[in-house]
């Protein structure tokens, strides 16, 4: 198995067999928490503009999961939405109550959309489901895997927590002994992430959960449903892992 690593903003017209997207803080962690808690599927849109198009086409009641301030109000009379932050801690407690969950974030949802445009299979990974993700990929036995740490998508920059999570998956796929807890601790101690936490102390609980290794051991896949939107579901055969 060959394992490569790219920034998802630099995929261009790549052709990938199996891609893995990481957005530890917080999109892929939030997704893992929701799917492990019994949510059957999680809609994903790349950007707020894509959300407005989706909601306008589907007059349903949505639960929008997002940290973005520019969402505005639902664009049509037939649609409505409630909203919570893109927070794995909130996702752990939320009740859907007949609402359709849809995720739109700064980096992770854009990375997923970019990956799905190039890859036959797109996996969704974070520290909380890392070993399950590795097991699922190993069972599939692809000839080539491409790791796509989301980082800052618009700037095509790396972020330590995503890179270290990808390091952990690489080690697992190569059959090397790896201390995932140590990688998670290094992520938590990253200077940039600590600065983010200082500016926004409310992120502390999300950070604690996002680096809790294998807390939600469910492998996930993203499937495109059209232009700039798709769905995250448990990987086929996940229950047998």
Q: What is the pLDDT of residues 129-165, one digit of tens each?
A: 999 999 999 999 999 999 999 999 999 999 999 999 9
pLDDT digit string (tens) for 21-69? Answer: 999 999 999 999 999 999 999 999 999 999 988 888 887 899 999 999 8
Query: Above 70 in pLDDT, residue 239?
Result: no
Range among 28-32, 78-82, 237-241 with highest mean pLDDT value = 28-32
Q: Answer yes or no: is 159 within a domain.
A: yes
Give the pLDDT mean for 174-197: 97
Domains identified in the chain, total number? 1
Query: In terms of residue numbers, what domain contains 140?
Result: 2-236
**What is the bridge-based pairing of β-strands 229-234 and 220-226?**
antiparallel
Q: What is the pTM of this model?
A: 0.96
pLDDT in the model for residue 86:
98
Average pLDDT over residues 160-183: 98
**Residue with the larger pLDDT of the pair 158 and 13:** 158
On whether residue 66 sits in a domain, the answer given is: yes
Question: Given this model, what pLDDT does residue 91 score?
Answer: 96
pLDDT, tens digit (0-9, with 9 covering 90-100), for 67-79: 998 887 776 666 7
Predicted confidence band of residue 12 (pLDDT cuts 50, 70, 90):
confident
With respect to residue 241, please indicate whether it lies within any of the assigned structural domains: no
C-alpha distance from residue 18 to each of 125, 146, 148, 163 (Å): 13, 6, 10, 18
Task: Give strand pairing partners of 224.
Answer: 230
Rounded CA separation 39/1 (Å): 32
Task: Give me the pLDDT at residue 56, please.
Answer: 82
Q: The domain that contains 136 carries what CATH number? A: 3.90.1560.10
Which phi and psi (to 5°) does residue 143 adopt? -80, -25
């Amino acid at each position: 198995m060959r394992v490569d690593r790219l920034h998802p903003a630099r995929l261009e017209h790549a052709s990938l067999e199996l891609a893995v997207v990481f957005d530890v803080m917080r999109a892929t962690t939030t997704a893992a928490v929701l799917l492990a808690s019994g949510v059957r599927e999680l809609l994903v849109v790349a950007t707020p503009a894509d959300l407005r198009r989706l909601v306008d086409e589907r007059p349903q009641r949505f639960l929008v999961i997002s940290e973005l301030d520019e969402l505005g109000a639902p664009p049509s009379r037939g649609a409505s939405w409630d909203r919570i932050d893109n927070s794995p801690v909130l996702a752990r407690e939320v009740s859907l109550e007949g609402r359709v969950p849809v995720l739109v974030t700064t980096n992770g949802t854009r990375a997923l959309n970019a990956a799905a445009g190039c890859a036959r299979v797109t996996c969704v990974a974070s520290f909380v489901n890392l070993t399950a993700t590795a097991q699922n990929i190993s069972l599939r036995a692809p000839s080539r895997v491409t790791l796509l740490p989301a980082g800052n998508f618009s700037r095509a920059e790396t972020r330590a927590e995503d890179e270290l999570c990808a390091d952990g998956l690489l080690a697992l796929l190569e059959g090397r002994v790896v201390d995932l807890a140590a990688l998670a601790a290094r992520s938590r101690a990253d200077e940039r992430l600590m600065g983010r936490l200082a500016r926004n102390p409310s992120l502390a609980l999300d950070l604690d959960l996002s680096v809790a290794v294998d807390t939600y051991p469910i492998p996930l896949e993203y499937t495109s449903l059209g232009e700039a939107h798709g769905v995250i579901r448990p990987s086929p055969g996940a229950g047998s892992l």
